[in-house]
Structures are given as structure tokens and as C-alpha cells.
């Protein structure tokens, strides 16, 4: 009797272990993703910032993709611009992050090759407590054991209730181009 019990316990432990490893294998993570936005107008100083520590998690079984960028990690060339961005536009003390939650549509991890495959992503960006639906085409490919995801989309300041003062209105583009470059590895 005692033997059966310990055998059962052992089996349980083994099963849990296997299930855990199987579950973990479907997750691909990038902790150092690149996200750049640019709202430059010709003739004026470039309005551009890059965040080089964006988190991205892709579940290759469900194709769910989630991403998180901390606002303070966006670096501008001009420090005063960075300050204004944080204090006046995004208000990063109150809204310290931007997130994306969505799905890769018709994505099949096992079909991924070293050649670029176009995949549509659909989901929601959340920034400053506002949500914005995003649907765009991404370029994906396999590189060694990593998944490379690259692409871009546009948003507007109005999408997130960001008011641009009239004094700088013609120096900041109406449409902001966001480009992303992720390299996800198995976790």
C-alpha cells in the first residue's frame, strides 16, 4: 500500500515535470527588443526615440503575442526633448508603460523558414489608459533557434489623447511611424 502511494507520488511529480517543460517550450521571449518611433517633419529637428529593452513574449502554440515598453527607456538624442516627452506628452510618472496584446493570424511556427514570411498581427496597444486597435503586416523568419519579427505601423497623438501645443504643432508629424525589431529565443 505504502509502495503504491509513493509510486503514485513519483508518477505525479514526473508528469508535472513533463507538462511544465512541454508548456515552457512553446514560449519565445525577447527581453531586449528594439522599438523606435519617429514623428519628424522636414527642415525641423528629428523627433525620434528608441527603446532597446522592450519585452516580447510569443506563445507559438496559441500565437498569442504580448509586448511591453517602459516609457522611461525611450532615448532621444536631444535630452530636453526626452524631458518634454516624459513630462508633458506621455506623463510617464502616471503612465510608465506602453503595452501590446494581440495574436499572430495564420501563423504556423513549424512552417517558419530562414526566408521572410509575412504575418498579420492584430491586437490592442494600451498607452496613457487609452486603447488603440492595431492591425499590421510583420516580416517573420527563423534565424538559428530564434524568431525574428520586424515591421512597422502608424499611430497618431490623438489616438492616446496626447495634445500637441500649437507652438510646436508644425514640428511634430501628424502620423507617428513606429518600427519594431524583435529577436525571440526559446525559454
Q: How far is the CB of 10 from other proteins (least distance, A)?
A: 28
**Residue 97 vs 142, nearer CB to other proteins:** 97
**Residue 96 vs 161, nearer CB to other proteins:** 96
Interface with other proteins includes 172 (CB under 8 A)?
no
Pick from 26, 59, 63, 73 the residue near other proteins by CB under 8 A: 73
Q: Where are the alpha helices (DSSP H) in the chain?
A: 2-25, 79-84
Could you give the 3-state DSSP secondary structure of residue 62?
Answer: coil
Cα–Cα distance, 17 to 9 (Å, whole number): 12
Judging by beta carbons within 10 Å of its beta carbon (0-12, 13-18, 19+), is residue 8 exposed, middle or buried?
exposed
Cα–Cα distance, 167 to 40 (Å, whole number): 15
**Residue 128 vs 154, nearer CB to other proteins:** 128
Interface with other proteins includes 61 (CB under 8 A)?
no
Cα–Cα distance, 32 to 146 (Å, whole number): 13
Output the CA–CA distances (angstroms, integers) from residue 5 to 1, 2, 13, 18, 19, in the order listed: 6, 5, 12, 20, 21
Number of residues that bind other proteins (CB under 8 A): 23
| Cα angle: 56, vertex 61, 31; to 5 degrees | 15
Q: How far is the CB of 53 from other proteins (least distance, A)?
A: 6
x-or-dash string of contact with other proteins, 13-52, rule CB under 8 A: ----------------x-xx------------x-------
Determine the interface stretch with other proteins among 78-86, 105-113, 128-136, 176-184 (rule: CB under 8 A): 78-86
Determine the interface stretch with other proteins among 70-78, 124-132, 141-149, 168-176 (rule: CB under 8 A): 70-78
Amino acid at each position: 500500500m505504502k509502495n503504491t502511494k509513493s509510486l503514485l507520488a513519483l508518477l505525479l511529480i514526473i508528469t508535472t515535470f513533463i507538462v511544465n517543460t512541454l508548456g515552457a517550450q512553446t514560449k519565445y521571449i525577447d527581453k531586449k527588443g528594439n522599438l523606435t518611433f519617429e514623428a519628424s517633419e522636414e527642415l525641423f529637428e528629428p523627433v525620434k526615440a528608441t527603446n532597446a529593452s522592450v519585452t516580447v513574449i510569443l506563445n507559438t502554440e496559441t500565437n498569442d503575442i504580448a509586448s511591453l515598453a517602459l516609457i522611461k527607456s525611450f532615448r532621444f538624442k536631444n535630452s530636453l526633448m526626452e524631458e518634454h516627452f516624459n513630462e508633458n506628452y506621455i506623463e510617464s510618472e502616471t503612465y510608465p508603460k506602453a503595452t501590446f496584446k494581440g495574436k499572430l493570424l495564420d501563423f504556423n511556427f513549424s512552417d517558419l523558414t530562414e526566408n521572410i514570411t509575412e504575418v498579420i498581427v492584430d491586437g490592442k496597444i494600451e498607452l496613457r489608459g487609452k486603447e488603440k486597435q492595431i492591425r499590421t503586416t510583420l516580416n517573420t523568419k527563423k534565424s538559428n533557434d530564434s524568431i525574428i519579427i520586424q515591421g512597422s505601423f502608424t499611430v497618431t497623438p490623438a489616438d492616446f489623447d496626447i495634445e500637441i501645443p500649437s507652438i510646436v504643432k508644425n514640428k511634430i508629424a501628424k502620423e507617428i511611424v513606429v518600427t519594431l525589431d524583435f529577436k525571440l529565443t526559446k525559454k
